Amino acid sequence: MNSFYRLQSIFRDVFSNPRLVLTEDMAMSNFDEWDSVAMVHVILAAEAEFGVRFNTDEVATASSVADIIKIIDGHLNQL
């Protein structure tokens, strides 16, 4: 399963919505339930799932699905 679908599984879990369909343009600005607390859930779950660690700048700037995938893939490419 690629990063996108693994991340979709995380979002479904965090937002308690097994039918949630992730899109790259989904962002905190257009998804009301996605607040800073949900973002903490998403990032900590992504760190556990992908075995990576977000740095503080990445945490501060990530605000969309596309951002998160880019950060995860960036870390995975360095492994």
DSSP secondary structure letters along 46-66: HHHHHT----HHHHHH--BHH
Q: How far is the CB of 63 from another protein (least distance, A)?
A: 13
Q: How far is the CB of 29 from another protein (least distance, A)?
A: 12
Q: Which residues bind another protein (CB under 8 A)?
A: 35-37, 40-41, 43-44, 54, 56, 59-60
3-class secondary-structure state, position 68? helix
Closer CB to another protein, 4 or 54, in the complex: 54
Closer CB to another protein, 48 or 76, in the complex: 48
Could you give the CA distance from residue 59 to residue 31 in angstroms, rounded to a whole number?
18
